[in-house]
Amino acid sequence: MSPVLVIIDLQNDFVSPDGRLNKKHISLEPLLPKLRSICTTFKDRNWPIIAIKSEYGTDSKDDAELEHLDTTEPHLAGTHAGKRKFCTPGTHGAEFHPDAQALFEEFDATVITKTMYSSFTGTLLHSHLQAHQVGDGPIYFTGVTANNCVLASLTSAFQLGYNVTAIEDCIGATSADLKSGALRKVRTYYGNVVPSSELTLEVLKKESTKPHRILYWVSGSIPSWRVMLALSLKNLEYTPKRLHVMTTPKETRADEFLAINPRGKTPTLIDLDGTVVIESMAILQYLDTYYPIPPLTPSKELKAENALTLQRFHETENLHNVFEDIELLFLKDWSKLHYKERIHDAYLNTIHELKFWESYLGKTKFVAGDEMSLADCAFYPNVAYLIHRGLDLQKEGFKNLRRYADTVGEMRCARDALPAKWENRGKNLFMKIHQIVEEKAADDGAAGSNVPVSDEV
């Protein structure tokens, strides 16, 4: 694999004061010195440099012609179709800016012409890159404009399985807001955004050998936690893409993410070959199937051990399900009677369920044997979450669970997977739960004392 530099649309209509953008043109002055430095590095290593040139005709594509194009923003699948025509073939506006033309000639850039926003749609760019054996890249995107052709091209590259990076100080837009908005989408959903100063030869070489595996995750999410444990145990490198769900709108509900996982949930894993796997339990089994070293499930020849691990693996969902209503305590009106009853029941059901696991751990070091397994990846985040929310295992009489939590918590995989800013205990839900339990006991006692005594013998 080798890195690729793509420079988009440095044409007069966009970057020259006598182009279509006129006074709003994007100045090349701050971009060219940085591009020259990067081009020097690429040419010295004989890495591909691609100059993209747009030519937009008078006829725009109709909707039927665009239906096959993958995009999260309909206009990015199209072409310039406004009243002002940009980069019309044969015009001065369609030509490269003289300084850009000189740069491309000096560094032997390959010129590819496009007719759509994306540099990949209807062009030979993808086949050209594969013919040059670039693998999945990475591809470094530069040029103009950030929110249109650069974003459209980078999105297409991502969908084709390339590792993508935007070089932020080599990209221009007609406003700072448009540029920052486009780069925010890149950083959140697709790839990296870096300044050119960070792209030293050592960094470029390292990135070109780095496995291109992506995990979309939410901090504190038990399903995400499970997968991160397994990835660490398997020693599999990946790029973590943290999504935020306490925002409006949630980042998991954005069109960019829904195009990757239509359910809008994490974790979502994109593997090296572009395989997308959703649902934590499915991802755990996928990882153990396709990356069997070290194994997290006993071999099929060990039938009893294998069956027990699979059983415990699926049993973990029982605990995950019963304590869900405990989180009603995050509501502002949690003290309403119907909520308190549900919280009380959830607590009792959680304690009942934990007794099963206390029993299991009285026989083995881990939940399905004396080695960390896939079942532990599924189970440990549940009990660690409860501890984080104030559950005192020792006080509840779960000494085996306490020992287990301490053992796993000290392992490297647990440290690697620890949710962001969870080094200290979070909001203590169990303090309120115990108050609810005591109130319920007092109310039940008072009701019992008011029951009339029967005269019958």
Q: What is the pLDDT of residues 172-205, one digit of tens each?
A: 999 999 999 999 999 999 999 999 999 999 999 9
List, for residues 313-362, the tens digit of each pLDDT value. 999 999 999 998 888 998 889 889 999 999 999 999 999 999 999 999 99
Q: Which two tokens stand for residue 144?
A: 């103009």
Going from the C-alpha of 457 to that of each of 35, 352, 449, the distances in angstroms are: 99, 38, 20
CA–CA separation, 214 and 274 (whole Å): 9
Question: Is the model's pLDDT at 66 over the cut of 50?
Answer: no
Alpha-carbon distance of 52 to 112, in angstroms, equals 5
What pLDDT does 73 receive?
Answer: 56
Q: Are 57 and 13 in contact (CB under 8 A)?
A: no
- Which residues, at least 6 apart from 51, have a Cβ–Cβ distance to it below 8 Å? 7, 10, 96, 100, 104, 109, 110, 111, 112
Share of the chain above pLDDT 90, in %: 76
CA 33 to CA 413: how far, in whole Å?
44
Tokens encoding 125: 């760019």
* Burial bucket for residue 352 (CB in 10 Å: 0-12, 13-18, 19+): exposed
Query: What interhelical angle do 303-322 and 374-388 show, nearest 10?
Result: 30
Q: Which residue has the higher pLDDT, 135 or 453?
A: 135
Q: Which residues contact 40 (CB under 8 A, 6 or more apart)?
A: 107
Q: Are 38 and 170 in contact (CB under 8 A)?
A: yes
* Residue 452 reports pLDDT greater than 60: no
Q: Is the pLDDT of residue 62 over 50?
A: no
Q: In the chain, what are the domains?
A: 4-209 (3.40.50.850), 214-290 (3.40.30.10), 303-442 (1.20.1050.10)
Q: Report the pLDDT value the prediction gives residue 280, as an integer from 0 to 100.
A: 97
Count other C-beta atoms under 10 Å from residue 330's C-beta.
10
The values of phi and psi at residue 167, to 5°, are -90, 100
Query: What one-letter code names the amino acid at 226?
Result: R
The predicted pLDDT at position 427 comes to 80
408-437 mean pLDDT = 88
The closest of 194, 122, 186 to 154, measured between CA atoms, is 186
Q: Mind listing the pLDDT tens digit for each residue in 131-168? A: 988 888 899 999 999 999 999 999 999 999 999 999 99
Could you tell me the strand order of the sheet in which 110-114 lies? 110-114, 49-54, 4-8, 139-144, 164-172, 192-194
The CA distance from 129 to 50, in Å, is 10
Which range, of 1-15, 229-243, 422-436, averages the lowest pLDDT?
Answer: 422-436
Higher-pLDDT residue of 132 and 6 is 6
What is the value of pTM for the model shown?
A: 0.84
Report residue 23 as tokens. 């006074």
Reduced 3-state DSSP string for the chain: CCCEEEEECCEHHHHCCCCCCHHHCCCCCCCHHHHHHHHHHHHHCCCCEEEEEECCCCCCCCHHHHCCCCCCCHHHHCCCCCCCCCCCCCCHHHCECHHHHHHHHHCCCEEEEECCCCCCCCCCHHHHHHHCCCCCCCEEEEEECHHHHHHHHHHHHHHCCCCEEEEEEEEECCCHHHHHHHHHHHHHHHCEEECHHHCCHHHHHHHHHCCCCEEEECCCCHHHHHHHHHHHHCCCCCEEEECCCCCCCCHHHCHHHHCCCCCCCCCEEECCCCCEEECHHHHHHHHHHHCCCCCCCCCCCCHHHHHHHHHHHHHHHHHHHHCHHHHHHHCCCCCCHHHHHHHHHHHHHHHHHHHHHHHHCCCCCECCECCCCHHHHHHHHHHHHHHHCCCCCCCCCCHHHHHHHHHHHCCHHHHHHCCCCCCCCCCCHHHHHHHHHHHHHHHHHHHHHCCCCCCCC
pLDDT for 145 equals 93
